[in-house]
Structure 1
Amino acid sequence: MVRSIARKLAVAAPLLLVPSLAFAHTGVGETSGFIHGFSHPINGLDHILAMVMVGIFAWQLGGRALWAVPTTFVVVMAIGGALGIAGVNVPFVEVGIALSVIVLGAIVALGVKAPIAAAMGLVGLFAIFHGHAHGAEMPEDAGGLAYAAGFMLATALLHIAGIAVGFGIGKISEKYGPVVMRTAGGLAAIAGVGILTGFL
């Protein structure tokens, strides 16, 4: 059993971690896989809120966190995706995703200035759940590499959107920017509670 899972992971992990060259191919399977992968993170409120909060959190920390925190999320999410594709069970995936929205929203709302290593560890933990959900829900006819490239790109773009929101609001109003950021984080945390309890 363990060897079978390890074999599946050995096949799936490189497909997710190697940069995709599939953009050069226009085959229906690859194109379909990329579109499915890209659309998966942006079709769920939970994923959108969590990804944008990761970006805002990285912006609040500044410095190396601007690239280290989102990059950690995308890389670890790829590992979670490999687990999902390989059929490896990860417990409490939906709860973990909802908690990611609550916790990341609260962190943004409170303006937590965590050490970069702690921030990377936290987003990495949540990335496992998000990645597993993406991988487990991959359509059977989708190419694994193209699908992974799609959901990784969509996630990275949502992180960039969060960083841009933080930067934009901060530039527009240095006085009220932090208040707006914290309000956004609080609203995201409340939405996460709604997701966790099934109201959203």
Structure 2
Amino acid sequence: MHRSRIAPAAVLLALMAAGAAHAHPGHEHIAEAAGWATSAIDGFMHPLTGADHLCAMIVLGVWSAMTSRRVWLAPLAFASVLLLGALLGLARVPLPAVEPMIAASLLVLGLLTATRARLPEVAGALVAGVFALFHGHAHGYELPETAIALPYIAGFMVATTGLHCVGIAGGLTLRRGAAWLPRLAGLGVAAYGVLLLAA
């Protein structure tokens, strides 16, 4: 009688152990998916939580919308070269004066916006691309040790595009509106760039 009770219990324990062993690979997939999601969120938040990146990307969109017919050209150049810079940063390829150039981007883009300076569209895209290289390098170099590169890059590329769109929308709205507002915003961004350069 005693043995007849032990046998079903042993079978039940064996089945539970087999189920646990079978479920273990599923935990690995869940952990991997969580790592990808966390990395994407970290990448998305990086430009949003850094005032220097945030200001540069929005003010570029504002300036492009207020002074160019192809409002997407300079932001597109920025996003494209940003990706290149990020790959260089991930590869630990040295780039001189990254932080000063990021600060200089705020000064230059802020002044361009404040003065509503009209550059040839290709020249504007070139200016945006030069500064994007340094912003991107900072993004890639500051990849957290626990982050996965691909979703992290995708995250900050989405955030960058969103910030450009916010700037473009604001610039288009203000193109024929209150001229003092973008001028004031541009001067504020330029002043922030000066502070960073002096720090």
* Counterpart among 127, 131, 138 of residue 132 in structure 2: 127
CA distance in 2, matches of 1:39, 1:30: 14
Gaps of 5+ in 1: 1-25
| Equivalent in the alignment of 1:179 | 180
Instruction: For 1:185, give the aligned amino acid.
Output: G
- Determine if contact 2:66/2:172 at 8 Å carries over to the other structure: no
Looking at structure 2, the residues matched to 102 and 46 of structure 1 have their Cα atoms a distance apart, in angstroms, of 11
Residue 54 of structure 1 pairs with residue 68 of structure 2: no
Superposition RMSD in Å: 1.3
Superposed CA deviations along residues 82-102 of structure 1, whole A, max 9, x for unmatched, are 000001010100000000000
Answer whether contact 2:114 2:185 (CA < 8 A) is retained.
yes
Q: Any residues of structure 2 matched to 1:32-181 within 5 Å, and which?
A: 32-64=38-70, 66-170=71-175, 173=177, 177-181=178-182
Q: Measure the CA separation in 2 of the matches of 1:152 and 1:133.
A: 13
Name the stretch that deviates more: 66-75 or 119-128.
66-75
- Work out the CA distance in 2 between the residues paired with 1:97 and 1:76: 14
Q: Which runs of 4+ in 1 moved over 4 A?
A: none
After superposition, what is the alpha-carbon deviation per residue over 1:86-134, rounded to whole angstroms, capped at 9, x for unaligned? Answer: 0101010000000000000001111110001000100000000000000
Amino acid at match of 1:153: V
Flag structure 2 segments of 5+ consecutive residues without an equivalent: 1-31
Matched residue type, 1:141: T
Structure 1 position 183, deviation (Å): 1.5
Larger Rg over CA atoms: 2
**Within 2, Cα distance between the matches of 1:140 and 1:45?**
22
CA shift digits 1:121-178 (9 cap, x unpaired): 000000000000000000122121101111111111111111111122335x3xxx22
1:12-27 matched pairs, under 5 angstroms = 27=33
Give the whole-Å Cα distance in 1 for the aligned partners of 2:198 and 2:43: 27
Identify the residue that residue 12 of structure 1 maps to in structure 2: none
- C-alpha distance in 2, partners of 1:58/1:115? 11
- Give 3-state SS (helix, strand or coil) of 1:138's partner: coil
**CA shift at 1:48, angstroms?**
0.9
Deviations 1:9-33 (A, max 9, x none): xxxxxxxxxxxxxxxxx80111111
TM-score, normalized by length of structure 1? 0.81
The secondary structure found in structure 2 opposite 1:140 is: coil
* Amino acid corresponding to residue 89 of structure 1 in structure 2: P
